[in-house]
Amino acid sequence: MLTGLFYLLIFLSLGELIRLSAGLPVPASIIGMIMLLIFITIKSRIPKSLAITATQITPLLPLFIIPVSAGLITQKELLAEYGWQLLIILTISLIPGVLVTALIMRMGKTHD
């Protein structure tokens, strides 16, 4: 567990280091993920400790999100004013995206 977490923290810090030194607008965690992907690809296997930690930490995602989402209480006025519009936009905008994605997946293929 801890060894795997150590790996993740190394790549997260590496991501931040690259972000700062290259002045990239991309989040440190994403750069860290790409670095880790390169690392695994070069090794052509996933270190066991890393696989264990990932399967333990990933299901806890909702817990990690709760504090961020609680920040919504600072946006009360905005939600009171635009809540319904936002909900409608979120629903309607899904439809074209879903249809386009499915169409591309089926282009030039024969299906039953």
Partner 1 sequence: MTEVFNYPGFWLMATVGAYLSGLTLYQRLGQPSYAPPVMTGFILITAALLATDTSYAEYRLSGDMISFFLGPVVVALAIPLYQHLHTMKRQLLRIFLAVTIGSATTVACAVLMTDYWIGIEAISNTMATKSITTPVAVALAEDMNAIPALAAAFVMITGIIGAMMIPALLKLTKMSDPQSTGMALGVCAHAVGTSRAAELGQEYAAYSAMAMTLTASLHAIILPWLL
Residues forming contacts to partner 1 in the complex (CB under 8 A) are 5, 8-9, 11-12, 15, 25-30, 32-34, 36-37, 40-41, 46, 50-51, 53-54, 57-58, 60-75, 78, 82, 85-87, 89-107, 111
Name which of 107, 109, 105, 4 is nearest 51 in CA terms: 4
Minimum CB separation from partner 1 for residue 96, in Å?
5
Look at residue 44 and give its three-state secondary structure: coil
CA distance 109 to 105: 8
Residue recorded with tokens 């299906």: 111
Minimum CB separation from partner 1 for residue 21, in Å?
16
Minimum CB separation from partner 1 for residue 3, in Å?
13
